[in-house]
Structure 1
Amino acid sequence: MGLFDSATFQQLENGLKGAALRQKTIANNIANVDTPNYKAKRANFKHTLTNALQEQTIQANRTNPRHFEFSGQSSKPFFSTHSQTMYHHNGNNVDIDKEMSQSAKNQIYYNALTDRISSKFNSLKTAVRGR
């Protein structure tokens, strides 16, 4: 077992990865604000974190007996595309104000995670020094 194998470090690392993925998705939406027929996308991964914390596994809900049975752990995000709205005459639905707001919210989340990791490293440094 390594020094950084604790559940806290792993959860913080996964949070940072999720924030980075969300930021890439937001940046992609902003970059395509004028692209005809482009539909805004969202990175969704909090559902997986919530399920993993509550149940430790993810179970499939079968609505038909012909569906495959499966269960297990998954931490993969999924991307959703919002195609019901249209904000521009060219079929594009990227709302730049909403994207900038989401970007700022994600930046605050990312900064909170980096502060938490920094404090964990400072605690380790203090423990090693003995002061």
Structure 2
Amino acid sequence: MNIENNFTKTVDMIHRGMDVNLLRRSVIANNLANAEVPNFKRSEVNFESELKRALETEKLRPALELTLTDPKHIPNWRERDYRDVQPRRVLDYVSTSKNNGNNVDSEQEIMAALENQLLYTLMAQAETFEFSQINMVLR
């Protein structure tokens, strides 16, 4: 993999992560705003595990890849493009933490908001570092 592709992929993944963090922030804010609404179910955003699976498919190419001679044949391996992975909002229907059917724990949501903000800051710093490396090479 050449430097240009590595830089582009890294910056693209950081941007996607930052976009997911913005979505996660709005989901957490929605959960906190509805913390006292009866029968409200909290939501969360799933993204990182699917992204990890997509990135692992790049490395897991089988030693013997089957040749497809007909469009109806099922391949033994498919590489999954990480750019196709989208964040998903998931409702938590399983748990209930209050007598009114609501399952939002304010302390847990505030901790999630703090963790999300720290992760966003870390990604912004990583992106700054990536561009500073390119800037240093161009000087």
Q: Pick the aligned partner of 1:91 from 101, 112, 126.
A: 101
In the TM superposition, residue 89 of structure 1 has moved relative to its aligned partner by 2.5
Is residue 2:124 matched to residue 1:122? no
Identity over aligned pairs, percent = 26
- The residue aligned with 2:54 is 52
- The residue aligned with 2:88 is 78
Cα distance in 2 between the residues matched to 1:25 and 1:116: 24
Cα distance in 2 between the residues matched to 1:115 and 1:92: 37
- The residue aligned with 2:42 is 40
Q: TM-score, with normalisation over the residues of structure 1?
A: 0.76
In the TM superposition, residue 118 of structure 1 has moved relative to its aligned partner by 1.1
In the TM superposition, residue 122 of structure 1 has moved relative to its aligned partner by 2.0
- With a CA cutoff of 8 Å and minimum separation of 6, indicate the structure with the bigger relative contact order: 2
In the TM superposition, residue 42 of structure 1 has moved relative to its aligned partner by 0.8
- The residue aligned with 1:18 is 20
Cα distance in 1 between the residues matched to 2:96 and 2:54: 35
- The residue aligned with 1:107 is 117
Residue-pair matches, total: 114
- The residue aligned with 1:9 is 11
Q: TM-score, with normalisation over the residues of structure 2?
A: 0.72
SS at match of 1:6: helix
The structure having more radius of gyration, on CA atoms, is 2
- The residue aligned with 1:62 is none
List gaps (5 residues or longer) in structure 1. Answer: 57-68
Which amino acid is 2:114 matched to?
A: A
Cα distance in 2 between the residues matched to 1:99 and 1:118: 29
Cα distance in 1 between the residues matched to 2:88 and 2:112: 17
SS at match of 2:30: helix
